[in-house]
Structure 1
Amino acid sequence: LRWIRTVSPGIKLRTDNDGACLFVTDEGCSVYNDRPTACRYYPVGHMAIREAGATEDEARYFLVKEDHCKGHEEDREISVTDYRKEQQVEQYDQINREWMQLILKKKSAGPSIGRPSDTSLQFFFMCCYDMDRFRRFVLSDSFKASYDMDDAFYSTVEKEDLALMSFGIRLLKQILFGDETIAVKPGAEEKRLKERREIS
């Protein structure tokens, strides 16, 4: 994996010298049961778009035809709906939806939001991709002193990755775009600013 330093940081799988996936062996995909969404969809392309003035994003699908994909040679027709069920992508889409909405929110803001600071990019990366580090951050004393969350919340995110991922998206929306859905403890921001001034 490597960090792609673009407007929104991301990761991509490293390939071998010929560009092939490292998980593909002579017997086929070695992680087939746990393959990611892109592999489940292929050769169907999937994207989310939001029309100007719309409040909800819309899923769009398209067929990708490449010479190395031999599935196109099979005499079989299947609808996108049935293909999605067959590949078991529905649960993955549900998990990815919030993340896609975050990316759309950034894109729809356009140049008005400017380029995020390096600190913001690192925070984005942690919330989206580095779950171990993000979990330590959320369970830290400094986080608990800043956000008004109950014990049930901390118990859940300590054990459940999906709940932690979903919360990471909420936190990013609040910090980067001002979507206030997470209660901040009274005086927490002023206390942080005071501590920073004392350190500097």
Structure 2
Amino acid sequence: MKYIEIENIACLPGRKLEEEDTFSFHCHPGLACFNRCCRNLNLFLYPYDVIRLKNRLGITSGQFIDRYSDAVLRPSNFFPEVLLHMAENEGQTCPFLSESGCSVYADRPDTCRLFPVEQGIFYDAQTMKTRMISFFKPPDFCLGLHEKTIWTPKTWIQGQDAEEYHKMTLQWADLKERFQSDPWGKSGAEGPGAKMAFMAIYNIDEFREFVFKSSFLKRYKVASETLKKIRHNDVEILKFGFEWVKFYLWGIKSGYLRLR
């Protein structure tokens, strides 16, 4: 997921897909290139990806982050990118790649789910909203693009069961856009405030413990109905985390919580 300046769209690689544009693609084990795209990747993980994968593996979000991810704070960025840690083998394969294909296929990350379509985000000044732009960008070795199955961007998202991913990625993009400027002040992007924000966004199991077992609820008034939802529902605690970070860092009012 990249933020795109409107004047740069024409210069980006791949074919920009409008809403009704079509493309051909079908990946299956009969292709000579099958699984070749699952190697040596800079594969970005979004917060909802972590929920799906950690639940699939039966581990906590903290365990998943420690075992399977790398957090990279790039120069001039104010929030780390989270990438999937490739296996330490000769091919630097995805850690979930098996001989028969993806071992977590039903819960694969958003980026894998949409491949070979890539998405970027830009702010539409006319509508004053953030929206997705799609590009058809298969690698040169991909043979799936010669198959006869036809898709539009919408049917591709539906066909890959990506609607929930799409919705959650947009919510994350709306929050992440705020990190284009420095919210940390003197404490910096690796200070205690930054660690708290990272916990709320990516380490939701630890954030849930923080909400219910620290002095959090003495500081913040949270509706009882919201507390019921976030106690056991991972998507709800993630949404709550997004709202808390916006309130905590920028003072943006939320229907989820307020100071006591």
> Where does the alignment leave 5 or more consecutive residues of structure 1 unmatched?
186-200
Give the letter for the 2:196 counterpart. Answer: F
Q: What SS class does the counterpart of residue 222 from structure 2 fall into?
A: coil
For residue 183 of structure 1, what is the aligned residue in structure 2?
258
For residue 64 of structure 1, what is the aligned residue in structure 2?
137
- Equivalent of 2:148 in 53, 57, 75: 75
For residue 79 of structure 2, what is the aligned residue in structure 1?
8
Contact 1:9-1:124 at 8 Å conserved across structures: no
Q: Quick check: 1:152 aligned with 2:225?
A: yes
For residue 101 of structure 1, what is the aligned residue in structure 2?
174
Counterpart CA distance in 2 for 1:9 and 1:3 is 6
> Where does the alignment leave 5 or more consecutive residues of structure 2 unmatched?
1-68
1:120-139, CA deviations, whole angstroms, 9 ceiling, x for partnerless residues? Answer: 22112101111111001111
Contact 2:183-2:249 at 8 Å conserved across structures: no
Q: TM-score, normalised by structure 2?
A: 0.65
Identity %: 25
Give the letter for the 1:86 counterpart. Answer: G
For residue 197 of structure 1, what is the aligned residue in structure 2?
none
For residue 189 of structure 1, what is the aligned residue in structure 2?
none
Mapping for residues 1-200 of structure 1, pairs under 5 Å: 1-6=69-74, 7-16=78-87, 17=89, 18-51=91-124, 55-107=128-180, 110=181, 116=189, 118-181=191-254, 182-185=257-260
Q: Which has the larger radius of gyration?
A: 1
Query: Could you say which structure has the higher strand fraction?
Result: 2
Q: Which shows bigger deviation, 89-98 or 51-60?
A: 51-60
1:52-102, CA deviations, whole angstroms, 9 ceiling, x for partnerless residues? Answer: 576310110001121343211213332111111111111111122211101
CA drift at 1:39? 0.8
1:30–1:68 Cα change, 3 Å = farther
Counterpart CA distance in 2 for 1:118 and 1:111 is 12
Contact 1:9-1:121 at 8 Å conserved across structures: no
Q: What SS class does the counterpart of residue 176 from structure 2 fall into?
A: helix
Q: Which shows bigger deviation, 2-11 or 122-131?
A: 2-11
Query: Could you say which structure has the higher helix fraction?
Result: 1
Residue correspondences, number? 183
Contact 2:118-2:134 at 8 Å conserved across structures: yes
Counterpart CA distance in 1 for 2:182 and 2:165 is 30
Higher relative contact order (CA 8 A, sep 6+): 2
Q: What SS class does the counterpart of residue 157 from structure 1 fall into?
A: helix
Q: TM-score, normalised by structure 1?
A: 0.82
